[in-house]
């Protein structure tokens, strides 16, 4: 009888224990410049919903992605590990370039802790067979694009384990993803969930709904289209946030809003950072980085400590009270910093590698080599965020120290498994029949 009563008590207590686990939601923007949201100083278009996450939580001024292009950054987000550990330096374009099956995703880490897991939007980690799609990588629900819109000749979309050639409403996907995300949240409102909403915006093609194009019709056409796709993505974030509030889930949800790499468009607002997507300059790797958890994370804080997308997974696991699977993680748990229990992160280096390019940041110092033939350059980001002045001559010891750190780290990684000819930042152009230089390789 005592055993029966104990089991009955545990059964009754189980939903309460489950409810204590926070939901975890990641908004992941594509190719959005670090200063694009209004909270970072962006002026082109108002972003009230992204700004609300900053005002309700923490805005990081030195937030990073370990990748300066799409897929490598996503490897880091999904695994909490540097993509260089598996030589995944560039975007996948064919068989053999998928996220290795030996790598475990954040969904696979969270499921043993009782989480229902969802991915809505861009995957870009392999679609050559069902075993590489999200459904086989720990996600209970998944739909979106396998890569970039209009990329390749095969199916561009997926739902579960099925590849689809078309998705109703595409190529305008932000409102579709908002609807699908809200459906997932509604279906799982009574149990802890993890959801990644991975936008196609603001990657090309810059397409948006008529109402958003109308809103910016006073701008030059290309600028208006770019502004519209940002505005529509922000609206989608607002739609999802409204669903959380309507279901009274916002206070029990740890929310991240991050971009996958630096800005790609010449219109993007970089606020003086050097470079852009495709480079390990700050403009290619410093990104929008915000976090909110009402009741746990004090509102309106601005934190200057460098953080990286690798930190999302260990932070989510800590919030969930979950242990990581048996794998070495490169990110750190940010919860003590987010909650104000810790003033500073412990000192660490952040590493960036894109084929022939590399960089390492230690405190305010950064060693950067942004092309094959460039000599590594030493900069101090506190005094020179635009990376204009090489301090190598004045600080040879610091340069040597960072170079040694880089070489040791790189030796512990796997070499790039395939080559991307654009590693040197060069537009690969082929002459057309008339001898003129033609279109560059399709942006990935």
Q: Which residues contact 27 (CB under 8 A, 6 or more apart)?
A: 50, 53, 197, 199, 237, 240, 255, 256, 257, 258
Question: DSSP states of 298-354 as a string?
Answer: -TTEEE-S-EEGGGHHHHHHHHHT-PPPSS---S---HHHHTTS-SSPPP-EEEEEE
* Active site members: 70, 124
β-bridge mates for residue 142, sequence order: 119
- Bond preceding residue 171 cis, omega within 30 of 0: yes
- Length of the chain measured in residues: 444
CA 147 to the chain's CA centroid: 14
Structural contact between residues 274 and 387, judged by C-beta atoms closer than 8 angstroms? yes
Two tokens at 137? 């990588």
The CA R_g of the chain, rounded to the nearest whole Å, is: 22
Helices (H), 195-311: 210-215, 221-246, 282-285
Structural contact between residues 287 and 259, judged by C-beta atoms closer than 8 angstroms? yes
β-bridge mates for residue 157, sequence order: 145, 164
The secondary structure of residue 442, as a DSSP letter, is P
Two tokens at 117? 């897991």
Structural contact between residues 359 and 280, judged by C-beta atoms closer than 8 angstroms? yes
């Amino acid at each position: 009888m005592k055993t029966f009563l104990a089991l009955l008590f545990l059964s009754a207590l189980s939903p309460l224990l489950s409810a204590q686990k926070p939901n975890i939601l990641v908004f992941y923007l594509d190719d959005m410049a670090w200063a694009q949201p209004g909270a970072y100083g962006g002026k082109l278009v108002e972003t009230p919903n992204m700004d609300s996450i900053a005002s309700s939580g923490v805005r990081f001024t030195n937030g990073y992605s370990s990748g300066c292009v799409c897929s490598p950054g996503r490897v880091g987000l999904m695994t909490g590990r540097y993509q260089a550990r598996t030589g995944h330096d560039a975007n996948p374009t064919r068989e053999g370039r998928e996220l290795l099956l030996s790598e475990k995703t954040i969904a696979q880490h969270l499921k043993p802790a009782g989480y229902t897991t969802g991915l809505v939007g861009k995957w870009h980690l392999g679609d050559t067979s069902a075993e590489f799609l999200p459904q086989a990588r720990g996600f209970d629900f998944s739909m979106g694009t396998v890569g970039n819109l209009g990329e390749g000749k095969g199916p561009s979309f997926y739902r579960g384990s099925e590849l689809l050639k078309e998705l109703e409403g595409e190529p305008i996907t932000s409102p579709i993803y908002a609807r699908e995300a809200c459906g997932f949240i509604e279906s799982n409102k009574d149990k802890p969930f993890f959801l990644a909403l991975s936008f196609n915006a603001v990657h090309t093609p810059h397409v948006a709904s008529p109402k958003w194009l109308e809103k910016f019709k006073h701008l030059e056409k290309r600028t208006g289209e770019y502004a519209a796709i940002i505005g529509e993505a922000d609206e989608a974030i607002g739609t999802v946030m409204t669903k959380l509030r309507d279901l009274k889930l916002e206070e029990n949800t740890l929310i991240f809003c991050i971009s996958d790499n630096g800005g790609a468009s010449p219109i993007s607002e970089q606020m003086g950072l050097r470079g852009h997507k495709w480079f390990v300059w700050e403009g290619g790797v410093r990104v929008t980085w915000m976090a909110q958890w009402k009741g746990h994370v004090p509102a309106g804080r601005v934190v200057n400590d460098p953080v990286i997308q690798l930190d999302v997974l260990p932070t989510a696991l800590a919030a969930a009270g979950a242990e990581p699977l048996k794998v070495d993680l490169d990110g750190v748990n940010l919860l003590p910093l987010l909650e104000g229990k810790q003033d500073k992160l412990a000192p660490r280096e952040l590493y960036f590698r894109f084929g022939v390019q590399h960089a390492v940041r230690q405190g305010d110092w950064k060693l950067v080599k942004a092309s094959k033939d460039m000599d590594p350059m030493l900069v101090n980001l506190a005094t020179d965020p635009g990376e204009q002045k090489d301090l190598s001559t004045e600080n040879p010891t610091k340069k040597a120290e960072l170079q040694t750190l880089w070489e040791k780290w790189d030796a512990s990684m796997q070499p790039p498994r395939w080559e991307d000819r654009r590693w040197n930042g060069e537009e690969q152009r082929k002459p057309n029949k008339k001898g003129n230089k033609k279109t560059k390789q399709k942006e990935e």
